[in-house]
Amino acid sequence: MKDRTLGPIRFLLVGALCAIMASCAGPVGHGRVTGQAAPPAQPEQASAITAKPGWMFLRQAVAAANPLAAEVGLSVLRDGGSAVDAAVAVQMVLTLVEPQSSGIGGGAFLMHHDGQRVQAFDGRETAPSAANERLFLDDTGKPLSFPKAVVGGLSVGVPGTVAMLAMAHRQHGKLPWSRLLVPAIQLSEHGFPVSPRLHTLLAADTSLKADPVAAAYFYRTDGRPHPVGHMLKNPELAAVLRQIAVQGPAALSRGPVAQAMVDKVRQHPDNPGDMTLDDLELYQPREREPLCHVWRASQRDLRLCGFPPPSSGAISIGQILGLLARTPQGDSPLTNGLPGPGWLHRYTEASRLAFADRALYIADPDFVPAPAGRWTSLLAPAYLDQRARLITPTRMPQAPAGQPGGAVSSWAPMSDQPEYGTSHISIADAFGNTLAMTTTIESGFGSRLMVNTNAGRSGGFLLNNELTDFSFSPTDALGKPVANRVEPGKRPRSSMSPTLVFDDTSGELLMSAGSPGGAFIIHFTAKTLLGTLQWGLSPQAAIDLPNVATTGGPLLLEEKRFPTDTLQALQALGHTVNETALTSGLQALQRGTLNGRPVWLGGADPRREGIVAGD
């Protein structure tokens, strides 16, 4: 990792990190913080926690989940590329070096600000045209178990990431598309060192080896994953990227790569899917109206712009922050670097109300109308005032969905389902463009299907399992439909929350942030916004704060980060509290000033391998 941070600031940020993490063993920036490595308590595997220094740059910055990818993004900016150019290059490299999380076989959301206008580019996967609401039901009409649904062709959505990036590049690219593929092609050919996190996840995965292409690429002949540092070459991915360099997204929607994808999905031995060449050919990325609303924090009005449905991210974050701001002491400061039980209680109750609305209302807007005709009804001040009154000093027995704008819903709420495996990129260029992009193949290693067009070449790319973000049950027990049920051509509801923050008065861009983490993305991103914009922490210190999450049931606290008396106080208020690994992968850039000059402050999550590279 190249350290381009400015000395005194680095020292301050490190100090804050050490204070929050209670102990700082080993050299900062590279050392392990002992006692923090978490067991794999969630299906989304944790890996070691590595303290990050926090970064500051004067000109431009790229925050990504892997150092090689971030450095490639920076090299594109240095060549005169725009933020979107860098995002294209970063995504192609992530396909290679962080294959568990995102790639050309998946989907993504991109928020972009060009200094004037905010845009939301939707590259979310779609259900094949042959899919129907019974996709994840067995012969007796019961929902499949999650692992059974994930592995194989059934869960694969029509990929959208490359088509979406090409759309954004047509509007905001400065360098030729083909140039942006070069670093990933070279790395695929020459090899990249297997990272500790990739190794850990490969060792823990039990399904990837069932795919002969993935088994031969990721594992040695004795069945063990390649060791950390092994130079892994992916000549098949290099060949596919070459075709994308020349043909753009068409290389994935027709021709031999498209055919290989369709074959892989349809010919899976025990869990085939229905995707066709037509589905690939007909896929369209979309430009959507960004979802923006005002949040008052630290006595100023901020404008939060996030991804609208099919993501639930912006609405749910907006509701949580809006509800908290309406509770007495909703903005109480940290004590000894941690939120106390009173704040945690109010946060939990606000989250339970937000997740109840999410479960009832949010789905693909091309299929499901917004309550009261507009999604912002869920964020209307009068509605939030009314919802905030449900938050009392003790845990409310039930947190029901509300009636935004007087809407009477005919939907049944969607039950909780696991979601995991994603990456976040934040980039600011020297031209005044800033972006936030969250990108995913859903679970770690997606559907565990690796596409290969030529058996003589090792490797390929992984296909997503994004369709498991749909409700497995199309209706409730009484036959009332769930808004987020499977329908042909529909995009599954997401939690991805790429977020851009502005000063509402001046219009100045203040921040770009986001995270992986399934439904918990909402909490991880909300924490970072609260930490920076409400509590005045640096992006790094905010990311380092312990994670807190709930989807309506138990309150989850990141393990070993809160004192016992906090847990006991929450239990006394009626909460069921579980400590667990909450593996966020936050990345954030925030505008700051140093001696009157604007700077970019950057943070990357100590729970994963990201860095911020910049000048």
- Judged by the rule CB under 6 A, the positions of this chain that interact with ligand GLU are 419-422, 440, 442, 466, 469, 494-496, 516-518, 521
Instruction: Write the burial class of residue 93 (CB in 10 Å: 0-12 exposed, 13-18 middle, 19+ buried).
Output: buried
SS (H, E, C) 105-118: CCEEEEEEECCCCE
Please identify, using beta-carbon distances, which residue of 339 and 517 lies nearer to ligand GLU.
517
Return d(Cα 345, Cα 550) in angstroms, integer: 11
Please identify, using beta-carbon distances, which residue of 352 and 424 lies nearer to ligand GLU.
424
Name residues whose C-beta falls within 8 Å of residue 125's C-beta, 6 or more positions apart in sequence.
106, 107, 157, 158, 159, 160, 464, 466, 467, 491, 492
Please identify, using beta-carbon distances, which residue of 33 and 198 lies nearer to ligand GLU.
198
Beta carbon of residue 593, minimum distance to ligand GLU (angstroms, whole number): 33
Please identify, using beta-carbon distances, which residue of 56 and 362 lies nearer to ligand GLU.
362
Beta carbon of residue 532, minimum distance to ligand GLU (angstroms, whole number): 21
User: For residue 330, what are its two tokens?
Assistant: 């909703």
Q: Long-range contacts: 223-230, Cβ < 8 Å, 24+? A: 225/194, 225/199, 226/194, 226/199, 226/202, 227/194, 227/199, 228/193, 228/194, 228/195, 228/196, 228/199, 229/193, 229/194, 230/193, 230/194
Please identify, using beta-carbon distances, which residue of 419 and 605 lies nearer to ligand GLU.
419
The per-residue DSSP string of 298-346 comes to TTEEEEEEE--TTB-HHHHHHHHHHHHHTSTTTTPPPBTTB--HHHHHH
Beta carbon of residue 341, minimum distance to ligand GLU (angstroms, whole number): 28
Beta carbon of residue 310, minimum distance to ligand GLU (angstroms, whole number): 9
Beta carbon of residue 61, minimum distance to ligand GLU (angstroms, whole number): 23
Q: Residue 274, CB half-sphere, CA atoms under 13 Å: how many?
A: 14
Q: Return the active site residues.
A: 422
Short-list 519, 581, 606, CA closest to 41: 581
Number of H helices, E strands in the chain: 18, 21
Please identify, using beta-carbon distances, which residue of 188 and 484 lies nearer to ligand GLU.
484
Return d(Cα 564, Cα 157) in angstroms, integer: 44
Please identify, using beta-carbon distances, which residue of 344 and 521 lies nearer to ligand GLU.
521
Please, what is the Cα angle at 462 between 461 and 464, to 5 degrees? Answer: 140
Beta carbon of residue 520, minimum distance to ligand GLU (angstroms, whole number): 8
Beta carbon of residue 440, minimum distance to ligand GLU (angstroms, whole number): 5
